[in-house]
Chain A
Amino acid sequence: MADSIFRKLRDGGEEGELAPALTIEETVVSPFALDVSCYLLANLSSSILAGKSKSEGLVLVTFSRSPSFYLQFLKQRGIVVSSSSKWIRVLDCYTDPLGWIDQPSTGVTEGPSLVKLNKCVSDLKRLFSSVIDAGREMVGDGKTRFSVAIDSVNELLRHSSMPLVSGLLTDLRSHAQVSSLFWSLNTDLHQEKVTNALEYISTMKANLEPFCPSPDGKRNALENLFLAHQDFGKGRFHVRFKLRKGRVRVMSEEYHVDQTGINLSPISSAESVIAATKSLIPKASYLVHFNLQLSEKERVEKEKVVLPFEHQDHGKSTEIYDGRRTLADGKTEATPLSSGELQADVVSSGKGGEIIYFRDSDDEHPDSDEDPDDDLDI
C-alpha cells in the first residue's frame, strides 16, 4: 500500500488537474509519520535520480527536523546530496522559524543554494513564493514539474490559522509545475475540524493505528501513551485513496518500526492477528506476578456454575431452598442448594442416603413470644 502511495506521488497528476496530495496522520501513541515521510522521501529521490518520475526535482520543506538530518538519512540510503545537486532543494523552516537568531539576512537566503533558511514561517505568501522559486531553480519556468514534501504541518498550524494553511496547500496543489505534494500531521495536537479540513484537500490519507488500542476509548491521548504496550512500534498502516469518480478505496498493511525506519508487510491471517492481540498483556497484568487469565477449560467450568440467585438470566426463575419453608412443603422440596432444582417425593424413598432436615423454626411464626423450652416436661 505504501508502494501505491509512492507510485501516485511519483507519477503525479494529469495535465489540467490538481496535483495528488497525501496527508500522513500520526498520533501520540503512534508517532511514526517521520518514518513514513523518510520512506517516501528516499523512494521519490531514487526515482527522480533514475529518471523514472514525472517530476524532475524535489523541494523539501523542513519544520520538525534539521535539513542535515534528512541529508544524512538520504546518504545512509545511498543517495548522496551535495551542494551541486540540481534535483533537490531544502527550505529550512526548522533552524530559525521566527527570526530569533541574529544573522545578517533579509529573511530568506538569496541566491541558488541547496539549503535556504526561512526566518518567518508565519508569512505563508512568502513561503509559497519560496517553494515555487526553489522548484524553478531546479527545473526552470517551463512545463517541467517538481514534487513538494513538507515534513510536518503541526508547526505551520501553530503559527498560522487553518484557513491560511489550507490556502497554502491548495495553492501548491494548483500550481502547474507542482507534480505531487505530501505532508504529515499529528491528529492529537489539533481539533477534529483541522484534521477533516486537511483530509478534504488531500487525495490520499495514510494513518497509523497501533495494535494496542486503549481499553477505554474516552481516555485522552496522554493517558493512552502511558497505557501503551511495552513495545508499541507495531500496528496497522491504513491508506484511503479518493478516486476521480468519487469512489474511495481503503487498503491496509502492517507496520513495524525499528532503528532503520518503518517496515511494511501484508496483513497476517486473522487468527495470528487475534493471537497477537491476545498476547498483548494489559499493563496491570504486566505489573503483577500471578496469573489473571482464564484457560478455556476454566472459562467453561465457570459458566456452568449456578449462582445462588433466583434469577439466572435464562428466562425462568429458579427457586433456591432457603431453609425456611413449611414442613409440608419441605417433604416435597429439594435440599441440595447447589442444584437449585425442585425434587418430588424425597422423604418416602430414602434412597441415596439423603439427610433431610426440617428446621424447628418452620413450626413457629416469626417473632413468636413462646419460650422454646415450654414443651419440655420437667
Chain B
Amino acid sequence: MDRSVNLLDLALGLDEPSPLRGKVVLIEDCVETSGSFVLHQMMKRVLSPHSSDSLIFLAFARPFSHYDRVLRKLGCNLSTQKTNNRLVFVDMLMMKCSDNESGVAKLFREIQGTVGKLRSVTNSNITVMVDDMSLLEIAATNSNSDHVLDFLHYCHTLTSESNCSLVTLNHEDIYSSMERPAYLLQMVCLADIVIKAEPLASGLANDVHGQLTVVNKGMISSKSGKGSSRNKLQNFQFRIKENGIEYFYPGCSRN
C-alpha cells in the first residue's frame, strides 16, 4: 500500500501520530471546484490497512454505491470495511429526519450511540464524516441553520469527550453573504483545520484542476507532550487522476 506522504497529508499533519484526533476539519468547495476528492482521500487514509481507525459516514449527497466505486479506484474496498465494522455507513438518502429540532437531535443521539459502541471495542481513532452540511439542513425539513449549528456543536463535544475526529464538507457559495454572513463563519470558527478548494485564478486548465488552501489553526495544547504546529497556512495546486490525486506547488514539476 502507498504510505507516501503528499502535500495535503503534510498540511494536515498526517506525518505525525494521530494528528486529527479530537479535531474538526471543514472542507469548503464551490461549484467550479468540487472538494469531494478531499473527502475521498481522507476516507482512504482512515480506512487504510495500516491503521485500525473507524469511520462513521453520514451520506446525504450520494448512495453507498457511488463511494464504493470511487474508493475502489483508490484501492479501498468499502464493502469489506463495512463487514469488518470499521465503516458505519449511514445512508441519509433513505432516512428522513422529522421537521423540527428533534430530528437533528435524534440523529446526533444515534451517532453518539454508535461512537459509544465502537469505543467499547476499540481505542483507535473514530472519525465522523458528513457529506454534506448543506444537505443536512434540507434533510431535516423546515430546519434552519441554527439547528445545523447546534448539531455541529454537539458533534464537537464528541471530539473532546470521545476523542473523535469530525470532517464535514460544505459549499461556501450557496449562502448569500448578505442573508447569513455568520453561518459560514460559525463553521469556520468551530473548525481546527479549514481546507478550501477553489479554481485557479487563471481559469480552467488541462493539467491543473484547482488549488487547495489549508489553514491549520491548531489549538492551545491541553495535553502534555508535543503538539502539532499552530497557525499555518499552505497553498498548493492539484490534479485529479484516474487513481489518485497529485499535489504540487505552483511552477514545480510533478511526480
List chain A positions with a Cβ less than 8 A from chain B: 28, 31, 34-35, 38, 65-66, 68-70, 72-73, 76, 94-98, 100-102, 154-155, 158, 186, 188-190, 220-222, 225-226, 228-233, 257-262, 283, 286-289
Residues from chain A with Cβ under 8 Å of B63 in the complex: none
Least distance between B97 CB and chain A CB atoms (Å): 14
A259 to B216 alpha-carbon distance, docked (Å): 13
The one of A70, A72, A190, A226 that contacts B182, using a Cβ cutoff of 8 Å: A190
Q: Which residues of A contact B184 (CB under 8 A)?
A: 222
Tell me whether B230 and A72 are in contact (CB under 8 A).
no
User: At the interface, yes or no: B207 with Cβ under 8 Å from chain A?
Assistant: no
| Complex-state Cα separation, A257 to B222, whole angstroms | 14
A34 to B222, CA, bound (A): 12
Point out the residues of chain B lying under 8 angstroms from A155, CB to CB: 153
- Number of A-B contacts defined by CB within 8 Å: 106
| B250 to chain A: closest residue by CB | A287
Q: Is B224 an interface residue (CB 8 A)?
A: yes
Contact B157 A258 (CB under 8 A): no
Q: How far is the CA of A35 from the CA of B220 in the complex (A)?
A: 7
Q: Which 9 A-B pairs have the closest CB atoms?
A: A233-B231, A259-B227, A100-B105, A66-B160, A72-B222, A259-B221, A73-B222, A189-B182, A289-B251
What class of interface size applies to chain B in its complex with A? Answer: 35 or more
Residues of the A chain whose Cβ atoms lie less than 8 Å from the Cβ of B218? 259
Return chain A residues, CB-CB under 8 Å to B149. Answer: 158
B53 at the interface (CB under 8 A from A): no
Are B233's CB and A232's CB within 8 A?
yes
- Closest CB in chain B relative to A291 CB, distance in Å: 14
Known: A66-B157, A189-B182, A288-B250. A100 touches B109 (CB 8 A): yes
What is the interface of chain B, defined by CB distance below 8 A to chain A? 101, 105, 108-109, 112, 146, 149-150, 153-154, 157, 160-161, 172, 177, 181-182, 184-186, 188-189, 194, 196, 213, 215, 217-224, 226-235, 250-251
Sample of 13 A–B contacts (CB below 8 Å)? A34-B220, A65-B160, A66-B160, A69-B160, A76-B222, A94-B157, A100-B154, A154-B186, A221-B185, A225-B194, A257-B230, A262-B220, A288-B251
User: Given the interface contacts A69-B222, A76-B222, A95-B157, does A189 sit within 8 Å of B185 by beta carbon?
Assistant: yes
Residues of A close to B251: CB separation below 8 A: 288-289
Residue pair B194, A100 in contact (C-beta under 8 Å)? no
A72-B223, A98-B150 are known contacts; what are 13 more A-B pairs with Cβ within 8 Å? A28-B189, A34-B220, A69-B160, A76-B224, A222-B172, A222-B184, A222-B185, A226-B213, A231-B233, A259-B220, A260-B220, A289-B250, A289-B251
B residues in contact with A96, CB < 8 Å: 157
| Residues on A with beta carbons closer than 8 Å to the beta carbon of B213 | 226
Closest beta carbon of chain B to A41's beta carbon, Å: 11
Q: How far is the CA of A98 from the CA of B224 in the complex (A)?
A: 32
A226: nearest chain-B partner, CB-CB: B213
Partner of B215, one of A70, A226, A286, A288: A226
Cβ–Cβ < 8 Å partners of A259 in chain B: 218, 220-221, 226-230
Q: How far is the CA of A287 from the CA of B233 in the complex (A)?
A: 12
Whole-angstrom CA separation of A38 from B222 in the bound complex: 10
- Give the shortest distance, in Å, between A122 (CB) and chain B (any CB): 11
**In the complex, which residue of chain A has the Cβ closest to the Cβ of B196?**
A226
Q: Which residues of A contact B196 (CB under 8 A)?
A: 226
A38 with B220: in contact, given A65-B160, A101-B112, A228-B215 (CB under 8 Å)? Answer: yes
A134 to B58, CA, bound (A): 40
- Cβ distance B201 to chain A, nearest Cβ, rounded Å: 9
Taken together as a complex, chains A and B put the C-alpha atoms of A289 and B232 apart, in Å, by 20
Question: Using Cβ atoms and an 8 Å threshold, which residues of chain A touch B146?
Answer: 158
Chain A residues with CB under 8 Å of B189's CB are 28, 31, 154, 186, 188-189
Q: How far is the CB of A332 from chain B (nearest CB, A)?
A: 52
> What residue in chain B is nearest A289 (Cβ atoms)?
B251
In the complex, what distance in Å separates the CA atom of A66 from the CA atom of B189? 16
Answer whether A220 and B177 are a contact pair too, CB < 8 Å, given A66-B157, A73-B220, A259-B230: yes
Question: How distant is A233 from chain B, measured CB to nearest CB, in Å?
Answer: 3
Q: Is the CB of B222 within 8 A of A101?
A: no
A34: B residues at CB distance < 8 A? 219-220
Quote the shortest CB–CB distance from A302 to chain B (angstroms).
26
Chain B residues in 8 Å Cβ range of A229: 233
| Residues of B contacting A221 in the complex (Cβ-Cβ under 8 angstroms) | 185
Closest to B234 in A: A230
Instruction: Kindly list chain A residues whose C-beta atoms are within 8 Å of the C-beta of B227.
Output: 259
Report the minimum CB–CB distance from B208 to chain A (whole Å): 12
Residue of B nearest to A71 (CB): B222
